[in-house]
Chain A
């Protein structure tokens, strides 16, 4: 039971990353893989902040800002220098690996005796329940904020930018600026996930972000596919779908590991899960036609 609760807690912590991918991929229609770098960036900033005696609020704030900067850089390279979106992300992600090492000054920082959020905030006495409650509250808060932003006039312009660029620029929206802001928000959410996971696992590692983008993509796909099957098209449902996808994905991984699968096969299993959910809509179409 404890094992699955940990998986749920990790899934919830990664939901902000899922929303980041949802923003870039589904709202802006940009395949942004800065994610691997900005996730670790969040963790690296948090690790160095906390081990220097700073508090978790500042660690979260600086992680958020760092992620925003990384995403805006990708957006700038993509829109102003007119580099393909995927390549822009790869360039920034690659550069971030060195940046993250520069921030951390070594490849791994343990966070045992520091003021991380789970040590500082004691909502209940049981540490595991405490973790889940904090992560759940934080995630729901961010999710609500995201929902609110997407509902505002600015949010409608964001959604329209990814959907019909010609129309939205004829309606007075600077689409380049919009994409830069959008990728900034997406990667700041990703960095928040990195920060929370580092505090949850009590360490930051330079390699912790490798392949995390595929987890995010898979979670978004699980969410989208499920919500489409349930015919829930509202934004709130879609946002919830990503949360659902992140938790389900972590549970699938936990279940696979618990069933005795070789941990070396983890990435293979991850890739297969994503493949299944990405191709599911196609199978659905074939079956119904």
Chain B
């Protein structure tokens, strides 16, 4: 379970550019739920995601994941619990490393990276099996540089990488925003599949209103740093796209 208690964050405090990015955010995210974080630009949804990931720190309030207080923990120290998929596929993968090297790092997200050679035949097979579910033939291209794959392929791979090792919370930051419609569909389907299959707790920031109908168990809408709408699974099941559009009217 993820608890966000009275989280506040102000940028440029005390200057004319002062922005109250998050105001008194209180949320409880149940284990195994898939939450969509909705909001227009500047609503604070990415800020909230960054606070969960540990790349931003709140001025006050607590973030508690499965009993562990995290609000002041550095991103790299949270990584045993939290995995992340970035909006930009180039951020989630290392382009000049091979697919196999990328997965090796991903396989050690929760562990130290020691002075032993971890890529062996068994690991190769494991990665090949893992990427074969994409049906893109990538299992035959394990030694290719990540940079030689398309944006859609890289995003799908970075999703697989994020969920390769065990995790408590998956953060998806507009994972399909930079992709063409077909790749976006692939990544979204894959994300839904993995979240369901592994029973993951996931939070996805999105701009795509269709996502509200297609995926997830809960919708939280932010506006100017505040939660203005919280739609439960039951309410969501009867939700129409027109209604979602109306939220932004």
Residues in chain A within 8 A of chain B (CB atoms):
148-149, 151-154, 156-157, 159-160, 163-164, 166-175, 233
Asked if A170 and B115 sit within 8 Å, CB to CB, the answer is no
B84 CB–A CB distance under 8 Å:
yes
Write out the residue numbers on chain A whose beta carbons fall within 8 Å of the beta carbon of B96: 159, 163
A152 to B113, CA, bound (A): 8
B147 to chain A: closest residue by CB: A163
Asked if B93 and A164 sit within 8 Å, CB to CB, the answer is yes
A29 to chain B: closest residue by CB: B96
Some 10 contacts from A to B, beta carbons below 8 A apart, are A152-B114, A153-B117, A156-B101, A156-B104, A159-B97, A163-B95, A163-B96, A167-B158, A170-B83, A172-B108
B53 to chain A: closest residue by CB: A170
Max chain B C-beta neighbours (<10 A), residue from A151, A164, A233: A164
Top 5 A-B residue pairs of the complex, sorted by shortest distance between their CB atoms: A172-B79, A164-B94, A163-B94, A153-B113, A157-B113
Asked if A151 and B105 sit within 8 Å, CB to CB, the answer is no
Q: A164-B90, A167-B94 given. 7 additional CB < 8 A pairs?
A: A153-B117, A160-B94, A164-B91, A166-B91, A170-B79, A171-B106, A174-B76
B151 CB–A CB distance under 8 Å:
no
Max chain B C-beta neighbours (<10 A), residue from A168, A169, A171, A173: A171
Contact with A along B146-163 (1 / 0, CB 8 A): 000000000000100000
Write out the residue numbers on chain B whose beta carbons fall within 8 Å of the beta carbon of A173: 76, 105, 113
A166 to B161, CA, bound (A): 14
B91 to chain A: closest residue by CB: A166
A154 to B76, CA, bound (A): 15
Asked if B105 and A152 sit within 8 Å, CB to CB, the answer is no
Contact of B91 among A149, A156, A167, A233 (CB under 8 A): A167
Interface of B is mostly: loop
Write out the residue numbers on chain B whose beta carbons fall within 8 Å of the beta carbon of A171: 79, 105-106, 108-109
B116 CB–A CB distance under 8 Å:
yes
Asked if B53 and A164 sit within 8 Å, CB to CB, the answer is no
Asked if A175 and B76 sit within 8 Å, CB to CB, the answer is yes
Write out the residue numbers on chain B whose beta carbons fall within 8 Å of the beta carbon of A154: 113-115
Knowing A149-B115, A152-B116, A171-B109, say if A159 contacts B101 (CB, 8 Å).
Answer: yes
Write out the residue numbers on chain B whose beta carbons fall within 8 Å of the beta carbon of A167: 86, 91-94, 105, 158
B80 CB–A CB distance under 8 Å:
yes
Write out the residue numbers on chain A whose beta carbons fall within 8 Å of the beta carbon of B93: 164, 167
Contact of B76 among A163, A164, A172, A233 (CB under 8 A): A172
A63 to B114, CA, bound (A): 26
Max chain A C-beta neighbours (<10 A), residue from B74, B104, B111: B104
Write out the residue numbers on chain A whose beta carbons fall within 8 Å of the beta carbon of B90: 164
B118 CB–A CB distance under 8 Å:
yes
Write out the residue numbers on chain A whose beta carbons fall within 8 Å of the beta carbon of B104: 153, 156
Separation in Å of the B101 CB from the closest CB of chain A? 5
A157 to B79, CA, bound (A): 14
Separation in Å of the A6 CB from the closest CB of chain B? 37
Separation in Å of the A172 CB from the closest CB of chain B? 4
Asked if B117 and A172 sit within 8 Å, CB to CB, the answer is no
Write out the residue numbers on chain A whose beta carbons fall within 8 Å of the beta carbon of B116: 152-153
Contact of B113 among A156, A170, A233 (CB under 8 A): A156
Write out the residue numbers on chain A whose beta carbons fall within 8 Å of the beta carbon of B224: none
Write out the residue numbers on chain A whose beta carbons fall within 8 Å of the beta carbon of B158: 167
Asked if A172 and B109 sit within 8 Å, CB to CB, the answer is yes
